[in-house]
């Protein structure tokens, strides 16, 4: 069911490596499409797969989609199809000779998607961890082999940094999970909250701390974020999109699923620290975006800032906060995917996205690309009517009335609101540099258009779909809120 992309991806990586690019692309697209459809069906039908797997540990092969994971599964399904389709636009295997075959590239994309499906659907803590790890390796290949063709050193540095950072985080998480599972005596996420309630406060806090630090690497929460800009900058466009839209979501999803749901008392003890780290991330990311010269790095740092809002929502520990985090998650997924498609496209066209280089304005030369960019930037600065607004506003509402630590979290809310103003400053800074500019004289127009050809066919389709998602979530947030509402109530109420 969800395993079609996994199987096809695995086959492409191993057996099908020699396939010509065109065949591989079609196969991969079909696989992603089938997997996506199956996933969307699964979110509607909600089937359950539950088999014993490692009985000694009580680990079960248990998959189920609920309200918390449903929007993320749909997001992954859509993004999965889009990144494979994007292979018609950008061909990293052809740009960097010697990097590897097209089939390997596409296989890795599919494996990441399959791993993400598994992680979002897993109902077993150990299974979740395994799925979480499955995602890392193909991503490492994507960054290291198919990344920025201009600098092998940057690729090596970024991919090594990515894998080591996240592996360290995963190790901590694994320790946390094992501690939790052995103490509670079950690995089933449905039974864990009740079972874990018997743990002492010290143990709860320790488990929550381990899990949170491990997952915070993935989110990423300040000060564990330094792998992100490097990875985003070097990864191919599809890789960046997957990173932002799927991998980071694993981190926040894990935070909801593991520490918040299972050890709420322990989690609420470290919540203020998490909230403070979150708002520092908001300010930190926002400030760096004001002076950062590389556009891709800038978008990556803005991700750090946006995830800060998500973390702030989580740290409030209330139902409202978790709702904010979930919609903020989805919103960030589509917004940053859109921005990375655009910026990746620009980098592909220009060779670099250094903001200090003066180029013809997008609004003058390639209006469609320009429109998509300004839409993404507007959504990024939290404009109402677009996706980003709801996550930020509701996170602030939640932080104003948190479950505990009212004083600290209110201060955090104030700082986060300041960070929202920073978002406006850096988004419009980008708009002012890239989007608007002088009139292009008629004789220079041809050269300028040749340098920045406008988006068409597949690229345009990808951008249009993401843009539409940004608008739909912004105009009708209850699409997401209503799906997550009941599950969140059960989740937050369940542990108490």
Partner 1 sequence: MSALWVAQLLVGIPVLAAVVTLALRRTPALAALVATGASLLSVVVAVVGMAVAPVRGENLVLLRQPLRVGAIEMPFELWSGPATAAVAAVVGLVAAAVLVFTRWYLADDDRLAQFAATVSLFTAAMMLVVHARDLVLTLVGWEVMGWCSYLLIGHWSRKESARRAAYKAFLVTRVADIGFVLGVVGLSAGAGSTGLDRVVAFWSHTGGGCVDTVTQTAACVAPPEPWLRSLLLSLLVIGVLGKSAQFPFQDWLPDAMEGPTPASALIHAATMVAAGTVVLAQLFEVLVLADGARWLLGLSTAATMVGAAVLALGQSDLKRLLAWSTVSQVAIMLSALATATAEIGPDPALFHLWSHAIFKSLLFLTIGWLSVVAGSTLARALRGSVAVHQLARVAWLFGLLALAGAPFVVGGLSKEHVISTAYEGAIGAGGPGVIVLAALLVTVVLTAAYATRAWLVVTASVPETESAHDHARMPSAPVLAALALLTVLSVVGGLVLLTGLFDIHGTSLWWMVLTVLLIVIGGGITWLARGNEDPRDSFVRTPRQRALADGGLGFDTAYRRGVAEPVLGLARVVAFLDREVVDGYVRGAAASAGIAGWLTERGHRREAASGGVALVALGLLVAAGTAVLAWR
**Which residues of this chain interact with partner 1, rule CB under 8 A?**
161, 164-165, 222-223, 225-227, 283-284, 287-288, 290-292, 318-324, 361, 363-364, 378, 382-385, 389, 393-394, 396-398, 400-401, 413-414, 417-418, 420-422, 424-425, 428-429, 432, 435-439, 477-478, 481-482, 485, 488
Total residues belonging to the chain: 496
Residue number with CB closer to partner 1 (48 or 478): 478
- To partner 1, the closest distance from the beta carbon of 489 in angstroms equals 8
Residue number with CB closer to partner 1 (321 or 495): 321
Residue number with CB closer to partner 1 (194 or 418): 418
Residue number with CB closer to partner 1 (19 or 353): 353
- To partner 1, the closest distance from the beta carbon of 436 in angstroms equals 4
Residue number with CB closer to partner 1 (9 or 321): 321
Residue number with CB closer to partner 1 (242 or 413): 413
- To partner 1, the closest distance from the beta carbon of 219 in angstroms equals 15
- To partner 1, the closest distance from the beta carbon of 473 in angstroms equals 14
- To partner 1, the closest distance from the beta carbon of 417 in angstroms equals 5
- To partner 1, the closest distance from the beta carbon of 425 in angstroms equals 6
Residue number with CB closer to partner 1 (31 or 280): 280
- To partner 1, the closest distance from the beta carbon of 228 in angstroms equals 11
- To partner 1, the closest distance from the beta carbon of 312 in angstroms equals 12
Residue number with CB closer to partner 1 (103 or 465): 465
Distance of CA 79 to the CA centre of its chain: 10
């Amino acid at each position: 069911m969800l395993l079609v992309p996994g199987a096809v991806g695995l086959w492409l990586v191993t057996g099908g490596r020699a396939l010509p690019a065109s065949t591989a692309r079609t196969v991969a697209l079909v696989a992603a499409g089938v997997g996506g459809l199956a996933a969307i069906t699964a979110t509607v039908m909600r089937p359950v797969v539950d088999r014993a797997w490692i009985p000694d540990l009580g680990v079960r092969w248990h998959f189920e989609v609920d309200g918390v994971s449903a929007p993320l599964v749909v997001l992954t399904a859509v993004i999965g199809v889009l990144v494979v389709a994007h292979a018609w636009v950008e061909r990293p295997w052809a740009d960097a000779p010697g990097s590897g075959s097209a089939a390997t590239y596409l296989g890795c994309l599919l494996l990441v998607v399959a791993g993400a499906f598994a992680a979002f659907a897993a109902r077993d803590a150990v299974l979740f961890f395994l799925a979480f790890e499955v995602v890392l390796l193909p991503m490492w290949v994507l960054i290291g082999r198919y990344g920025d063709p201009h600098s092998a050193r940057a690729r090596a540095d970024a991919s090594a940094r990515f894998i080591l950072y996240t592996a360290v985080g995963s190790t901590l998480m694994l320790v946390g999970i094992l501690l939790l599972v052995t103490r509670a005596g079950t690995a089933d996420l449905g039974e864990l909250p009740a079972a874990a309630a018997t743990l002492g406060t010290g143990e709860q806090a320790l488990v929550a701390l381990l899990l949170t630090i491990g997952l915070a690497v993935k989110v990423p929460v300040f000060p564990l974020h330094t792998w992100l800009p490097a990875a985003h900058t070097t990864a191919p466009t599809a890789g960046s999109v997957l990173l932002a839209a799927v991998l980071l979501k694993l981190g926040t999803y894990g935070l909801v699923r593991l520490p918040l749901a299972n050890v709420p008392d322990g989690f609420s003890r470290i919540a203020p620290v998490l909230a403070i780290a979150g708002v520092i991330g908001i300010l930190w990311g926002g400030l760096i975006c004001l002076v950062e010269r590389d556009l891709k790095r800038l978008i990556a740092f803005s991700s750090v800032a946006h995830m800060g809002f998500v973390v702030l929502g989580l740290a409030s520990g209330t139902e409202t906060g978790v709702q904010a985090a979930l919609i903020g998650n989805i919103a960030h997924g589509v917004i940053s995917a859109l921005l990375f498609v655009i910026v990746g496209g620009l980098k592909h066209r220009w060779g670099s996205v250094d903001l200090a280089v003066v180029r013809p304005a997008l609004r003058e030369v390639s209006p469609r690309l320009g429109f998509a960019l300004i839409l993404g930037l507007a959504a990024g600065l939290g404009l109402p009517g677009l996706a980003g607004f709801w996550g930020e506003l509701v996170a602030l509402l939640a932080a104003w009335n948190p479950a505990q630590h009212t004083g600290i979290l209110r201060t955090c809310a104030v700082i986060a609101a300041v960070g929202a103003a920073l978002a406006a400053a850096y988004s419009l800074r980008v708009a002012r540099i890239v989007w608007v500019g002088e009139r292009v004289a008629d004789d220079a127009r041809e050269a300028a258009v040749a340098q920045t050809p406008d988006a068409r066919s597949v690229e345009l389709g990808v951008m249009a779909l993401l843009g539409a998602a940004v608008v739909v979530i912004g105009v009708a947030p209850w699409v997401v809120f209503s799906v997550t509402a009941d599950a969140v109530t059960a989740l937050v109420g369940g542990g108490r």
